[in-house]
């Protein structure tokens, strides 16, 4: 077992964990933050996307040990004082989610994308979200939501 300390949504979390524990399971089972989902076993779907030091990563492919000493942001930490983050608000307004399973990862990937490129084109959004799969929406409204969020944050 090893000791890790990770700042999750601004809060320090420390625990003794198995060295092989994945960050996504650290978040889900140690921190009890279960918005972040697991949709595959090949780093393909992005349902597990979170921000690690502000950059979006697939938390099924990061060990909790690798996050030791770093900052992790999940969708649970995004809204401020009951106000949806502009990306969350845009997903709602544009109906960018249906079953919601891909949503936490999709929202975090979008936040990461807009941080890197605040004014993306439709094409840049589509390529930027290539690693996040959604079976419900056909991506149409997800792309529109990210465009709208970029507009709103401008």
Partner 1 sequence: MQPRGSILGTRVQRVEDPQLLTRGGVYTDDLVDDALASAVHVSFVRSPIAHARITSIDLTALRAAPGFVAAFTAEDLALPGARPMLATIDERFTRPILAAGTVRYVGEPVAIVVTEGYYQAEDVGELVDIEYDPLPPVVDPLAAGRDEVLLFPDVGTNTVCEFLPEHRDEQLFENCEVVVSSEIVNQRVAPAPLETRAAAASWGSDDRLTMWLPNQGAQTSQRALAALLGLDISRLRIVTPDVGGAFGAKFGADPEHAAVAWVARELARPARWSEQRYDNMLAMTHGRAQLQTVTIGGDRDGKLRAYRLDVVQDCGAYPAIGALLPSLTRMMAPGTYRFERVESAARCVVTNTTPIGAYRGAGRPEATAAVERAVDLFAAEIGMDPADVRRRNLLPAFAEPQENGSGALYDSGDYPAALELALSAAGYDDLRREQAERRERGDVRLLGIGLASYVEITGGGDEAGAPSENALIEVHPDGTATILTGTSPHGQGHATAWAMLASDELGIPIELITVRHGDTDLVPEGGGTGGSRSLQQGGAAVQQAARELADIARLRAADMLEANPDDLRIDRDRAAITVAGSPHVAVTLAELAGVERLFVRTVFTAPGATFPFGAHVAVVEVDTETGRPTLLRLISVDDAGVVLNPLLADGQRHGGLAQGAAQALFEEMVYDDDGNPLTATFADYAFPSAAELPMFQLETMETPTTYNPLGAKGLGEAGTIGSTPAVQNAVIDAVAHLGVRHIDMPTTSRRIWEAIQTATTNAEGRL
Binding site for partner 1 (CB under 8 A): 18, 20-21, 28, 32, 34-45, 47, 75-76, 78-79, 84, 88, 91-93, 95, 97-104, 107, 122, 125-127, 129-143
Q: How far is CA 146 from CA 7, 47, 89, 121, 143, in A?
A: 27, 17, 10, 10, 5
DSSP one-letter string for 42-54:
SS-S-TTEEEETT
Q: Which of 92, 95, 119, 135 binds ligand FES (CB under 6 A)?
A: 135
- Applying the rule CB under 6 A, the residues between 31 and 50 that interact with ligand FES are 38-40, 43-48
How far is Cα of residue 21 from the mean position of the Cα atoms in its chain?
19
Q: Which of 19, 54, 69, 100 binds ligand FES (CB under 6 A)?
A: 100
Q: How far is CA 28 from CA 99, 102, 116, 128, 133, in A?
A: 19, 15, 27, 26, 20
- Minimum distance from CB of 106 to ligand FES (Å)? 7
d(C-alpha 74, C-alpha 57), whole Å: 11
- Minimum distance from CB of 151 to partner 1 (Å)? 16
Q: Which residues bind ligand FES (CB under 6 A)?
A: 38-40, 43-48, 58, 60, 97-103, 134-137
């Amino acid at each position: 077992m090893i000791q890790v300390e990770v700042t999750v949504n601004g809060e320090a979390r420390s625990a003794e964990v198995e060295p092989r524990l994945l960050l996504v399971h650290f978040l889900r089972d140690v921190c009890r933050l279960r918005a972040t989902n697991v949709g595959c076993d090949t780093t393909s779907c992005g349902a597990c996307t979170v921000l690690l030091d502000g950059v979006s990563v697939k938390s099924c492919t990061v060990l909790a040990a690798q996050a030791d000493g770093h900052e992790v942001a999940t969708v649970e930490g995004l809204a401020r004082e009951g106000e949806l983050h502009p990306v969350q608000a845009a997903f709602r307004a544009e109906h960018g989610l249906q079953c919601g399973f891909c949503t936490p990862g999709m929202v975090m990937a979008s936040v990461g994308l807009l941080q890197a490129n605040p004014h993306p084109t439709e094409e840049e959004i589509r390529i930027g979200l290539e690693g996040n799969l959604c079976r419900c929406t056909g991506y149409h409204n997800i792309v529109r939501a990210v465009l709208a969020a970029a507009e709103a944050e401008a």
